[in-house]
């Protein structure tokens, strides 16, 4: 049934009026200030869900549960499927005319006029590319992450996208895993804070407001624990660890109102996530009261057969529906088998109604029934100056200074006649963008070389040599020219790392050294005897201990995105101090993985006195020589750089930790404060971090857990008191019986600029 002609005219007129009004407002007010038609009240939405579902045929219900991949054209088949109500969502439509045409078919040509969800992976920016999420995590700045995400939402929404498949909030403690690039790193608290920032950036305060889009927290759950860091691999996570480490970011996203979740490809303790009723029913719906919907990952329902969890696609559909997957991404088990499963009584119609209703609820909350169309002219231009400025700030704050011997950084341009810029990532507009940048525009990229040239102008010569074609190249033919350039210059600035394609989905590595001949390049250039500054652009932590002696300064830049170049130049020349902090531990060697700061203590913890290097072991020494403690003979027990670490051009010291009370009752709160001083001679940001240890627990507790952080800015010589509030609820965890508990006892608390801070105080939590 199509709508009557004058309904169409009316709706076109309403749209036009709305567009004109919107356009007028947009010229006169900041975009965020625009409120469109008031959102539908919850009870109205619920009533419409019930009413709609009651009018749907089984085919139309199943249609809402089907997400297809856009085939690249509005083919007759696709048109017919949408008209017949057999598609609820499409993936990867980013042409606004196509989006509007598809919405027109859905809302005006289908019987019930249900609009489409148009989904896209907007992982770190859209046209304007922000640093990879792991780099954004290094900013420890949720407010900045939210701003960048808001801009990405606007850019994506201008093409008709109304659902983003982000944020990815898998805890990852394994840098071999290529998808660590998409994550916020190893820590549940930092990840939770940034998960909320991204959800709020995409969804705003009100899902139906202009330019806000539905977010999708993924991958539920445990994907980051893939064995050996090999993508898609099995995960085994005891329930207690699942609840204390892997689930909190998802809980935070749900509490922040995330509209949707995506399942994981992985097998969790023998029950693949896409068929996991414990995750999707017991935890997500029963415990957390989630009322949005869950989409599978790409083909992950039919892959239940590959896992050996379902006998065939029919069985896979049954298991996924029973577990609580509302929508199937790309594979067709729902389309092909759900009707039969209902007819034969293997799944009830109430189950289908519930799952469909949850999808419709999000479509209604998005305001798509009222306005399914997109007018790109109403949005700010993608890649505009404001978006570039936020991307630059995010890149700047993501830069982590790992080493700075003799204050090799920053460079003083006035004191240099020439600078050698060397390396495969010095001037590569594409590679600095990182993984998952379908919509990124390399033409917008400002490379380090461009930015250095722009900053230096004619004050010094720039001698640029790429030296290696790509980060993987083994051909050392360019080394001679690079060495000559280094010899002819007063300082050497290297841009090394990994190309984009070496991280991301299905791009795991077993060896995470700098690839290709880059280590040899660093060593070769040392012969020039000049200060060497290395910037590493990469999608994961790399094992860089093997170059530390041959570089004076080392900055980890992740894949910094569109504005990486200017951010890097600002740090290189001291316009700004680096202020990023590691969101993930850097191992010395791959064999230490997993290595993370919030580990358990073991019964035989290593200490500096009980650790010995292999070469120092006495020949035929007693087994117990140097103590029997938990370490590697050839790598010790400490990481190369700890979680939370990052140097500055300021010099931050911490002192005078004080607690407002030494005994904390269950209804009290505790203020923890410490004095932070910048005794350096440059103004800089510092990320002050708060850690806690619960000394004795119903289950053993980590040796340190992040509980708060704050970015502050201090002038040279300035001291400031940083304070944090702690409540008993911040000390809660899941105990042996999987209950959330707040357990009385002794706690240590630290404040500092890294997880290895030693500035400590203690308090007692009492049950009164």
Which residues are annotated as catalytic? 297
Checking phi first, is residue 675 left (phi over 0); if not, alpha (psi -120 to 50) or beta?
A: beta
Return the sign of the alpha-carbon dihedral for residues 79, 81, 87, 91. Answer: negative
d(CA 628, CA 624) in angstroms, rounded, equals 6
Pick between residue 145 and residue 168 the one whose CB is nearest to ligand BGC.
Answer: 168
**Minimum gap (Å) between residue 77 Cβ and ligand BGC:** 21
Reduced to 3 states (helix: H, G, I; strand: E, B; else coil), residue 682 is: coil
Q: How far is the CB of 166 from ligand BGC (least distance, A)?
A: 8
Q: Please give the Cα distance from 751 to 706 (Å, whole number).
A: 10
Judged by beta carbon, residue 298 or residue 495, the one nearer ligand BGC is 298
The CA dihedral of 541, 542, 545, 546, to the nearest 10 degrees, is -170
Shortest CB 537 distance to ligand BGC, Å = 23
How many residues bind to ligand BGC according to rule CB under 6 A? 6
Provide the minimum distance between the beta carbon of 198 and ligand BGC in the complex, in angstroms, as a whole number. Answer: 14
Q: Which of residues 192-221 bind ligand BGC (CB under 6 A)?
A: 218
> Closest-CB residue for ligand BGC?
165
Q: How far apart are CA 112 and CA 710, in angstroms?
A: 50
Decide if residue 298 touches ligand BGC (CB under 6 A): yes
Place of tokens 């006892």: 745
Contact between 328 and ligand BGC (CB under 6 A)?
A: no
SS3 string, 73-138, reads CCCHHHHHHHHCCCCCEEECCCCHHHHHHHHHHHHHHCCCCCCCEEEECCCCECCCECCCHHHHHH
Phi and psi of 558, rounded to 5°?
50, -160
Indicate the residue among 193 and 507 with the shorter CB distance to ligand BGC. 507
In whole angstroms, give the CA distance from residue 309 to residue 490. Answer: 63
* Closer CB to ligand BGC, 123 or 323, in the complex: 123
Q: Does residue number 297 form part of the binding site for ligand BGC (CB under 6 A)? A: yes
Q: How far is the CB of 453 from ligand BGC (least distance, A)?
A: 37
Q: CA 184 to CA 186: how far, in whole Å?
A: 7
Return the number of the residue (244 or 326) whose C-beta is nearest ligand BGC. 326
- In the chain, what are the helix, strand and coil shares in percent, each to the nearest 5? 35, 20, 45
| 505 is a contact residue toward ligand BGC (CB under 6 A) | yes
| Nearer residue to ligand BGC within complex by CB, 101 or 231 | 231
First to last CA, the chain: 66
The span from the CA of 72 to the CA of 69, in Å, is: 9
Which tokens go with 670? 């505790």
State the minimum distance, in angstroms, from the CB of residue 438 to ligand BGC: 9
CA dihedral 46, 52, 54, 57 (to 10 degrees): -140
Of 178 and 644, the one with the shorter C-beta distance to ligand BGC is 178
Minimum CB separation of residue 128 from ligand BGC in Å reads 20
Using the minimum distance from each CB to ligand BGC, give the nearer residue, 120 or 701. 120
User: Which C-beta is closer to ligand BGC: that of 296 or that of 403?
Assistant: 296
User: SS3 of 675, please?
Assistant: strand
Under rule CB under 6 A, residue 507 binds ligand BGC: no
What is the rounded distance in angstroms from the CA atom of residue 489 to the CA atom of residue 532?
Answer: 11
Chain positions 103 to 162 lying near ligand BGC, rule: CB under 6 A, are 121
* Neighbouring C-beta atoms of residue 19, cutoff 10 Å: 15
Minimum CB separation of residue 156 from ligand BGC in Å reads: 14
Binding residue for ligand BGC, selected from 56, 65, 116, 165, defined by CB under 6 A: 165
Q: How far is the CB of 164 from ligand BGC (least distance, A)?
A: 9
Give the DSSP H/E element, type plus range, for residue 741. strand 740-741
| Residue 493 makes contact with ligand BGC by CB under 6 A | no
Instruction: Draw the binding track, 410-449, toward ligand BGC (x: CB under 6 A; -: no contact).
Output: ----------------------------------------
Among residues 354, 346, 304, 345, the alpha carbon closest in space to that of 324 is found at 354
* C-beta separation of 167 from 122 below 8 A: no
Non-local CB neighbours of 141 within 8 Å, separated by 6+ positions? 394, 397, 711
Contact mark string toward ligand BGC, 546..585, x via CB under 6 A:
----------------------------------------
Footprint of ligand BGC on this chain (CB under 6 A)? 121, 165, 218, 297-298, 505
């Amino acid at each position: 049934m199509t709508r009557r002609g004058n309904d169409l005219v009316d709706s076109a007129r309403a749209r036009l009026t709305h567009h004109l009004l919107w356009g007028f407002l947009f010229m006169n007010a900041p975009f965020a200030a625009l409120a469109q038609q008031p959102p539908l009240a919850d009870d109205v939405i619920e009533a419409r869900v019930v009413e709609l579902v009651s009018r749907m045929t089984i085919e139309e219900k199943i249609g809402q549960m089907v997400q297809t991949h856009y085939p690249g054209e509005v083919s007759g088949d696709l048109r017919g499927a949408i008209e017949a109500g057999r598609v609820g969502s499409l993936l990867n439509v980013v042409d606004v005319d196509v989006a509007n045409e598809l919405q027109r078919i859905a809302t005006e040509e289908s019987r019930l006029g249900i609009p489409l969800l148009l989904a896209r992976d907007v992982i770190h920016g859209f046209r304007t590319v922000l640093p990879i999420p792991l780099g954004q995590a290094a900013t420890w700045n949720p407010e900045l992450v939210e701003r960048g995400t808001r801009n990405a939402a606007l850019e994506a929404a201008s093409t008709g996208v109304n659902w983003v498949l982000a944020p990815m909030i898998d805890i990852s403690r394994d840098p071999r895993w290529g998808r660590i690039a998409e994550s916020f790193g190893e820590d549940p608290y930092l990840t939770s804070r940034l998960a909320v920032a991204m959800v709020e950036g995409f969804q705003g305060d009100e899902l139906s407001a202009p330019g806000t889009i539905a977010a999708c927290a993924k991958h539920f759950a445990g994907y980051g624990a893939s064995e050996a860091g090999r993508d898609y691999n099995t995960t085994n996570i005891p329930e207690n660890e699942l609840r204390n480490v892997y689930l909190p970011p998802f809980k935070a996203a749900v509490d922040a109102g995330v509209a949707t979740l995506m399942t994981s490809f992985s097998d969790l303790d023998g029950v693949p996530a896409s068929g996991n009723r414990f995750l999707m029913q017991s935890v997500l719906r029963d415990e957390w009261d989630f009322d949005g919907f869950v989409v599978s990952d790409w083909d992950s329902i039919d892959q239940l057969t590959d896992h050996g969890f379902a006998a065939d696609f029919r069985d896979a559909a049954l298991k996924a529906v029973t577990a609580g997957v509302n929508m199937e991404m790309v594979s067709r088990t729902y389309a092909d088998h759900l009707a039969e499963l209902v007819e034969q009584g293997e799944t009830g119609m109430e189950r289908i109604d519930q799952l469909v209703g949850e999808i419709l609820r999000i479509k209604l909350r998005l305001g798509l029934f009222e306005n399914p169309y997109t007018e790109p002219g109403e949005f700010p231009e993608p890649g505009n100056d404001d978006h570039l400025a936020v991307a630059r700030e995010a890149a700047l704050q993501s830069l982590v200074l790992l080493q700075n011997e003799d204050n090799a950084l920053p460079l003083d341009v006035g004191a240099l006649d020439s600078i050698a810029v060397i390396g495969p990532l010095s001037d590569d507009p594409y590679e600095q963008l990182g993984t998952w940048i379908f919509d990124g525009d390399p033409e917008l990229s400002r490379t380090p070389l461009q930015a250095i040239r722009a900053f230096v102008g004619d004050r010094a010569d720039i001698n640029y040599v790429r030296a290696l074609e790509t980060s993987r190249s083994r051909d050392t033919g360019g080394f001679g020219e690079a060495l000559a350039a280094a010899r002819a210059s007063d300082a050497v600035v290297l841009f090394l790392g990994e190309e984009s394609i070496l991280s991301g989905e299905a791009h795991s590595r077993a060896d995470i050294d700098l690839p290709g001949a880059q280590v040899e390049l660093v060593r070769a250039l040392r012969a020039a005897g000049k200060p060497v500054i290395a910037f590493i652009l990469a999608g994961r932590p790399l094992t860089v201990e093997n170059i530390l002696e041959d570089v004076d300064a080392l900055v980890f830049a992740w894949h910094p995105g569109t504005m990486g170049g200017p951010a890097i130049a600002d740090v290189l020349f001291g316009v700004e101090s680096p202020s990023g902090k590691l969101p993930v531990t850097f191992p010395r060697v791959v064999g230490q993985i997993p290595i993370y700061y919030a580990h358990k203590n073991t019964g035989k913890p290593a200490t500096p006195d009980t650790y010995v290097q292999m070469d120092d072991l006495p020949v035929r020494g007693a087994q117990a020589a140097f103590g029997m403690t938990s370490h590697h003979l050839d790598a010790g027990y400490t990481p190369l750089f700890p979680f939370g670490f990052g140097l500055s051009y300021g010099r931050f010291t911490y002192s005078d930790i004080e607690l407002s009370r030494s005994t904390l009752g269950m209804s009290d709160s505790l203020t923890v404060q410490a004095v932070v001083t910048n005794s350096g001679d440059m103004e800089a940001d510092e990320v002050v971090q708060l850690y806690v240890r619960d000394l004795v627990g119903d289950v053993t507790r980590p040796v340190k857990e992040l509980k708060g952080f704050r970015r502050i800015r201090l002038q040279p010589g300035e001291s400031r008191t940083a304070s944090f509030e702690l409540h008993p609820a911040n000390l809660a965890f899941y105990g042996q019986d999987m209950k959330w508990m707040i357990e009385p006892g002794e706690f240590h608390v630290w404040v500092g600029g890294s997880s290895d801070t030693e500035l400590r105080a203690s308090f007692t939590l009492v049950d009164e």
